[in-house]
Amino acid sequence: MVCLPQTLPAPPASGKDCVSLVVSVPNRPGAVHDILVPLKVHGVSMTRFESRPARSGQWEYYFYIDLQGHPSQDNVQAALADLQQLCAFYKVLGTYPISD
Protein backbone atom coordinates (compact mmCIF):
# COMPACT_ATOMS: atom_id res chain seq x y z
CA MET A 1 0.00 0.00 0.00
CA VAL A 2 1.35 3.43 -0.98
CA CYS A 3 0.62 6.39 1.27
CA LEU A 4 0.57 9.73 -0.47
CA PRO A 5 1.30 12.92 1.46
CA GLN A 6 -1.76 15.00 2.16
CA THR A 7 -1.93 18.67 1.32
CA LEU A 8 -4.03 20.61 3.75
CA PRO A 9 -6.13 23.45 2.40
CA ALA A 10 -4.98 26.97 3.21
CA PRO A 11 -6.80 28.53 6.16
CA PRO A 12 -9.24 31.29 5.24
CA ALA A 13 -7.81 34.76 4.80
CA SER A 14 -7.52 36.68 8.07
CA GLY A 15 -6.60 40.02 6.54
CA LYS A 16 -3.01 39.71 7.74
CA ASP A 17 -1.51 36.59 6.18
CA CYS A 18 1.77 35.16 4.96
CA VAL A 19 2.61 32.64 2.23
CA SER A 20 5.86 30.67 2.58
CA LEU A 21 7.40 28.96 -0.42
CA VAL A 22 10.62 27.43 -1.66
CA VAL A 23 11.82 27.77 -5.25
CA SER A 24 14.87 27.18 -7.38
CA VAL A 25 15.74 28.74 -10.70
CA PRO A 26 18.01 27.69 -13.55
CA ASN A 27 21.63 28.80 -13.12
CA ARG A 28 21.74 31.66 -15.61
CA PRO A 29 22.41 35.39 -15.42
CA GLY A 30 19.41 37.35 -14.13
CA ALA A 31 17.41 34.32 -12.95
CA VAL A 32 17.04 35.61 -9.37
CA HIS A 33 16.03 39.04 -10.66
CA ASP A 34 13.41 37.42 -12.88
CA ILE A 35 11.64 35.75 -9.94
CA LEU A 36 11.28 39.12 -8.21
CA VAL A 37 9.55 40.77 -11.17
CA PRO A 38 6.13 39.07 -10.69
CA LEU A 39 6.07 40.31 -7.11
CA LYS A 40 6.67 43.89 -8.23
CA VAL A 41 4.22 43.69 -11.15
CA HIS A 42 1.42 42.40 -8.93
CA GLY A 43 2.24 44.54 -5.87
CA VAL A 44 3.11 41.69 -3.50
CA SER A 45 5.52 42.46 -0.67
CA MET A 46 8.26 39.99 0.22
CA THR A 47 9.14 39.79 3.92
CA ARG A 48 11.85 37.10 3.76
CA PHE A 49 14.30 35.88 1.13
CA GLU A 50 16.95 33.31 2.07
CA SER A 51 19.15 31.11 -0.07
CA ARG A 52 20.42 27.67 0.80
CA PRO A 53 22.71 25.50 -1.34
CA ALA A 54 21.06 22.48 -2.91
CA ARG A 55 22.65 19.12 -2.31
CA SER A 56 22.19 18.20 -5.96
CA GLY A 57 25.07 20.20 -7.38
CA GLN A 58 27.41 23.13 -7.35
CA TRP A 59 25.87 26.59 -7.96
CA GLU A 60 22.35 25.30 -7.35
CA TYR A 61 20.33 27.00 -4.64
CA TYR A 62 16.90 26.88 -3.06
CA PHE A 63 15.31 30.20 -2.18
CA TYR A 64 12.97 30.39 0.81
CA ILE A 65 10.51 33.24 0.41
CA ASP A 66 7.76 34.70 2.60
CA LEU A 67 5.15 36.92 0.98
CA GLN A 68 2.55 39.16 2.56
CA GLY A 69 -0.97 38.20 1.61
CA HIS A 70 -3.18 35.18 1.02
CA PRO A 71 -3.47 33.03 -2.12
CA SER A 72 -7.17 33.90 -2.32
CA GLN A 73 -6.21 37.52 -3.10
CA ASP A 74 -6.15 38.17 -6.85
CA ASN A 75 -2.75 39.90 -6.84
CA VAL A 76 -1.09 37.19 -4.73
CA GLN A 77 -2.62 34.43 -6.84
CA ALA A 78 -1.40 36.10 -10.06
CA ALA A 79 2.11 36.65 -8.66
CA LEU A 80 2.37 33.01 -7.55
CA ALA A 81 1.18 31.76 -10.95
CA ASP A 82 3.72 33.94 -12.79
CA LEU A 83 6.48 32.94 -10.38
CA GLN A 84 5.78 29.25 -10.82
CA GLN A 85 6.32 29.56 -14.58
CA LEU A 86 9.86 30.87 -14.00
CA CYS A 87 11.02 28.22 -11.53
CA ALA A 88 12.77 24.91 -12.03
CA PHE A 89 11.32 23.91 -8.63
CA TYR A 90 8.33 25.51 -6.89
CA LYS A 91 6.53 24.51 -3.70
CA VAL A 92 4.20 26.43 -1.40
CA LEU A 93 5.13 25.42 2.14
CA GLY A 94 2.09 26.97 3.74
CA THR A 95 -0.22 29.88 4.31
CA TYR A 96 -0.88 31.23 7.77
CA PRO A 97 -2.09 34.31 9.63
CA ILE A 98 0.62 36.46 11.18
CA SER A 99 0.47 38.30 14.49
CA ASP A 100 1.48 41.86 15.26
Q: What percent of the chain has pLDDT over 90?
A: 71
Domain boundaries, the chain: 17-97
Please determine, for residue 3, whether its predicted confidence score (pLDDT) is greater than 90.
Answer: no
d(CA 94, CA 70): 10
Write down the pLDDT at residue 7. Answer: 61
pTM of the model: 0.85
d(CA 77, CA 44): 10
Q: What is the CATH code of the structural domain delimited by 17-97?
A: 3.30.70.260
d(CA 46, CA 20): 10
Q: Each residue of 33-81: pLDDT tens digit? A: 999 999 999 999 999 999 999 887 677 899 999 999 999 999 999 999 9
Write down the pLDDT at residue 60. Answer: 85
Residues 11, 13, 14, 18, CA torsion sign: positive
